[in-house]
């Protein structure tokens, strides 16, 4: 009788361990990026300025040459200063001082869980929370992360996203779709995030968050909070990704 108990124990703990390992990966990524960019940022800013100063200083030195008697002296053109990538802000990034506009001071987030992972949506980017009390209407030809349409009296028809499949596809399992009860609406959007549980709102200070400066791999991830062991979502970036995915499938 002891053999069955040993086999059932890993099955119960495996999803929790997988989610914990994934969240630890997000925390390590954000923390390591913050440490790596503490010193290089100043160096990247200073070097283009020094190079521009040197380029501008060179034409100031007078060079006297006898002009040909027939050809008129050509006008001296100003030096061309090339723009370096370090001096240009990313086009898709409207962050200020390494933080989103809504995180320049104390802000609030709504916590919700999906497959054991704790996520946070800033209240300023929250459109509302709906109860998934009706069956979703599926649509053919949609990506695997699209669950279906949910009718709502207040929000109209909501496009529901399989949050677990989008956020952590490498750790996704079919069990993640079981027991989904709520839909977290994103502001100014027809999209909603399916989740298992909605928790309370928390108040955070900007310094409590490990903000992600390089978000190329997970643009939807704004940062992580070690104290609450949660990942803060960048709703604007998330909605933009959804729009791009939708356009690409309709072409």
160 sits in which H/E element? strand 156-161
The pLDDT value recorded for residue 56 is 43
Dihedral sign, Cα of residue 178, residue 180, residue 186, residue 188: positive
Question: Residue 29: pLDDT above 90?
Answer: no
Q: Are the C-beta atoms of 186 and 194 separated by less than 8 Å?
A: no
**C-alpha to C-alpha distance for 89 and 213, rounded to whole angstroms:** 12
184's tokens = 């977290």
What number is the average pLDDT over the span 83-107? 68
Please report the pLDDT score of residue 26 as a whole number: 67
State both tokens at 186: 């994103």
pLDDT at 21: 64
More confident of the two residues 249 and 202: 202
User: Model confidence over 51-87: pLDDT tens digits?
Assistant: 333 434 444 444 455 555 544 444 444 333 333 333 3
The pLDDT tens digits of the residues spanning 120-130 come to: 999 999 999 99
In terms of CATH architecture, what is 103-250?
Beta Barrel (2.40)
In the chain, what are the domain boundaries?
103-250
Residues 152, 160: Cα–Cα separation, whole Å: 12
Q: What are the angstrom distances between the C-alpha of 136 and each of 143, 182, 200?
A: 15, 12, 26
- Give mean pLDDT, residues 232-240: 92
Quote the tokens at residue 101. 């506009």
Beta strands in 7-116 (DSSP E): 107-114
The two three-digit tokens of residue 1, written as one number: 């009788």
Whether the per-residue pLDDT at 13 is higher than 80: the answer is no
Using CA atoms in the order 54, 60, 65, 69, what is the torsion angle rounded to 10 degrees? 120
Please identify which residue in the block is written with the tokens 């962050």.
95
Global pTM reads 0.66
């Amino acid at each position: 009788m002891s053999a069955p108990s040993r086999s059932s124990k890993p099955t119960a703990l495996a999803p929790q361990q997988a989610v914990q390992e994934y969240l630890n990966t997000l925390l390590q990524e954000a923390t390591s990026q913050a440490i790596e960019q503490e010193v290089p940022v100043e160096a990247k800013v200073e070097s283009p300025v020094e190079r521009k100063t040197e380029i501008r200083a060179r034409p100031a030195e007078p060079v006297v040459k006898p002009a040909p008697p027939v050809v008129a002296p050509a006008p001296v053109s100003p030096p061309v200063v090339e723009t370096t990538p370090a001096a240009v802000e990313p086009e898709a990034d409207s962050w200020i001082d390494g933080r989103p506009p809504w995180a320049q001071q104390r802000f609030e987030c709504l916590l919700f869980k999906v497959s054991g992972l704790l996520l946070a949506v800033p209240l300023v980017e929250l459109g509302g929370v709906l109860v998934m009390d009706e069956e979703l209407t599926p649509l053919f030809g949609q990506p695997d992360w699209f669950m279906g349409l949910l009718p709502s009296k207040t929000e109209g028809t909501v496009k529901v996203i399989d949050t677990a499949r989008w956020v952590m596809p490498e750790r996704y399992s079919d069990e993640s779709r079981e027991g989904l009860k709520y839909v977290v609406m994103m502001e100014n959007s027809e999209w909603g995030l399916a989740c298992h549980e909605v928790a309370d709102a928390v108040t955070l200070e900007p310094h409590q968050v490990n903000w992600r400066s390089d978000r190329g791999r997970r643009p939807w991830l704004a940062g992580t909070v070690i104290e609450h062991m949660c990942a803060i979502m960048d709703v604007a970036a998330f909605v933009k990704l959804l729009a791009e995915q939708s356009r690409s499938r309709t072409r």
